[in-house]
Amino acid sequence: MAEQHPINGLMDTSMEKIRELVDVNTIIGDPITSPDGTIIIPVSKVSFGFVAGGSDLPTKTPKEVFAGGSGAGITINPQAFIVVQRDGDVKMLELGAGGGSAIEGIIGGVPDLISKIKAIFSKDNGEESEEKTEE
């Protein structure tokens, strides 16, 4: 069996570290249960980038000198939330729908989210919700 080039070891080490980062919970997050029993599951877009390179440097001695390096990057962007309500109703709340950014989606959804949270806590306290959302 031929001896492996040092760049192979460099790439193997980098890829092993990237594998440690990759988990199913990176894309489909851990479920979050609200006080009223609603389950919220975050969904994210994950992008990885990887680069490795090196060079065998000539020397005056018979042993070659190797110089190399590698790098990786990861970007995680929230895309949506899967909402499973107590009655079994399932909805997908997308962030940034229509080509906007995720932040715009979050900011745009805040008023609706606040009214839903108010309704949940009003029902928990035995009060009727003053506002009813139309669908």
Per-residue CA distances from 112 to 71, 73, 94, 105, 131 (Å): 42, 35, 13, 12, 11
Higher-confidence residue of 133 and 115: namely 115
Average pLDDT of 24-44? 88
Q: Give residue-wise pLDDT tens across range 55-107.
A: 877 777 777 777 788 877 888 888 899 999 888 889 888 886 555 566 666 66
More confidently predicted of 44 and 59: 44
Cα separations in angstroms, 27 against 14, 47, 67, 74, 103 = 21, 10, 35, 12, 18
Q: Dihedral sign, CA of 122, 127, 130, 133? A: positive
Question: Vertex 71, ends 56 and 8: CA angle to 5°?
Answer: 45
Average pLDDT score over residue span 106-118: 73
pLDDT at 38: 92
